[in-house]
Amino acid sequence: MGKFHRILEPGLNFLIPLLDRIRYVQSLKEIVINVPEQSAVTLDNVTLQIDGVLYLRVMDPYKASYGVEDPEYAVTQLAQTTMRSELGKLSLDRVFRERESLNANIVDAINQASDCWGIRCLRYEIKDIHVPPRVKESMQMQHFVSVLMCILLCFIAGEANAMLVRAKAKAEAIQLLAAALAQQHGSAAASLSVAEQYVSAFSKLAKDSNTVLLPTNTGDVTHMVAQALGIYTTLTKTQAVKTRDELPPAHGDPQPPSTEMLKAEQVTSS
């Protein structure tokens, strides 16, 4: 007679004709509802287009029938408004990083409001997030710059390691060269190497430039070699004298006569 009487459970039920009538039929299965795409503004004033999928179940058929006129429509509208509210609390970068927490917050908000409707939201999933084309280009450029900076840092670190390795190798080469020069006939070998490099340098001058400055005796190879050996000998003697002057005199050894004393003796003799 138009008044709620009882809930018919699954199975065999008897109705009185003209008095009893089935008014609402509620499915207790899990229901999947597509939340239409909507616009939302983030905390940093970026407009997004976002949609989702809502999973819910009718827990109380009486409340779902008499607590709200259209439960699915009510839950869909609640999901949309909650989504806009939650997106307004996050910046654009956090929206993509915190999708799971965003879904959980929407589920909690829907369950608090839909309890009086006899409906429970099981989960909510964001399907797609569409950003404006200009914002998308900016995000791609930012990602490109980040990747480029990582590559640059890796290159700098690799170059620094390479420089360190080259410096260590050069130091070891200098130590080996010093040890080789200290051995017997080391000076002669070094003189030969300097002479070869000196001659090889003149052979490459014409290949690097059209204008070449050459000494007048370039045809005299013997003179060139002698000049190179003379330069090396002078440098070697200068280094040896400097090293001998820096060493302190041994105890008890007679001091060598100075230059002034030698000049005085020469004057006296003359």
pLDDT the model gives residue 53:
92
Its pTM stands at 0.49
The 10s digit of each residue's pLDDT in 215-235 is: 666 556 566 666 666 666 676
The 10s digit of each residue's pLDDT in 86-101 is: 888 888 888 888 888 8
The 10s digit of each residue's pLDDT in 81-136 is: 888 888 888 888 888 888 888 888 889 988 888 888 888 999 998 888 888 787 76
Does position 185 have pLDDT exceeding 70, yes or no? no
Instruction: Determine what percent of the chain is predicted with pLDDT higher than 90.
Output: 2
Identify the band that residue 173 occupies on the pLDDT scale cut at 50, 70 and 90.
confident
Give the architecture (CATH level 2) of 30-131.
Answer: 2-Layer Sandwich (3.30)
Measured in degrees and rounded to the nearest 5, phi and psi for residue 81 equal: -65, -40
